[in-house]
Amino acid sequence: MAIMQVNPTRMELTNLKRKLVTARRGHKLLKDKRDELMRVFLELVRENKQLRRKVEEGISLANKHMSIARSVMSDKAIDTALLMPTQEMSLTISEKNVMSVMVPEFETRLKSPDESEIYPYGFAFTSGDLDAAVKSLADILPYMLRLAQVEKSCQLMAAEIEKTRRRVNALEHIMIPQYEETIKYISMKLDESERATTTRLMKVKDMMLAKAYNYEKLF
């Protein structure tokens, strides 16, 4: 690991030690964040799998009933029956903070709580399978919205997990080792400088003693 290009001084050593402590603390916090993100992400993935299966089954059932309805009703009759829907739904989209990831939240509200409002036609001239198809689609609509919310949350959290993983790896394999090597290098340089200074002082002391007492110290 290459050391940083810094002056080997005590002030720089103190600064690097402070940065190393901060880097280690940040590394631990990011690892904890990554682990928690992974836990939430896996829960969402499991929920996404269940929702997708339920939605696909509901759509398949609706398509089956619609195919039967089309076999006994003309396309024009079906289009006319479904032309003017009576039920209305409003969708409110907000955001929720999950480990610094802003995930969407959907809230729906129906115009009328009456379940019969999903049928915008009379039952006298329509097929029962058309009713079943409309009912199937109405039943799976909340799951479809939840599925859209969960899938978007999974995408956002996967991107955040990847970003956090890169930061953790950068701290663990680059920055922290670089700080440690640089601190070791500066400490060695300071120790060498201190030993050299001590040696010079001892030589100066010997020279002063020799001059003061008029003798030469043997080494």
The DSSP-derived string for 11-50 is HHHHHHHHHHHHHHHHHHHHHHHHHHHHHHHHHHHHHHHH
Query: Which domains, ranges and CATH numbers included, belong to the chain?
Result: 10-182 (1.10.287.3240)
Average pLDDT over residues 111-129: 81
Tokens of 114: 């009456």
pLDDT of residue 81: 85
Q: What is the residue whose two structure tokens read 């999950």?
A: 98
Contact 44/154 with Cβ under 8 angstroms? yes
Average pLDDT over residues 83-103: 87
pLDDT of residue 193: 81
**Shortest CA distance to 33 belongs to which of 147, 178, 180, 171?**
171
How many Å from the N-terminal Cα to the C-terminal Cα in the chain? Answer: 41
pLDDT of residue 208: 78
CA atoms within 13 A on the CB side of 163: 10
Spatial distance between the Cα atoms of 90 and 71, rounded to a whole number of angstroms: 33
CA distances from 83 to 58, 191, 216 (A): 22, 88, 117
pLDDT of residue 88: 84
Tokens of 7: 């002056």
Q: Which of these ranges, 116-120, 138-142, 172-176, has the smallest mean pLDDT?
A: 116-120
Tokens of 35: 């682990």
pLDDT tens-digit profile of 10-41? 898 899 999 999 999 999 999 999 999 999 99
Average pLDDT over residues 55-61: 94
pLDDT at 219 over 50: no
What residues does 93 pair with on adjacent strands? 106
Average pLDDT over residues 155-183: 93
Q: Residue 130 burial (CB < 10 Å; 0-12/13-18/19+)?
A: buried
Average pLDDT, the chain: 87
**Shortest CA distance to 141 belongs to which of 116, 110, 112, 170?**
110
What residues does 89 pair with on adjacent strands? 110
Highest averaged pLDDT of the listed ranges 44-53, 107-116, 184-193: 44-53
Top pLDDT among 51 and 4 is at: 51
E strands, the chain, are 89-98, 101-110
Spatial distance between the Cα atoms of 137 and 32, rounded to a whole number of angstroms: 42
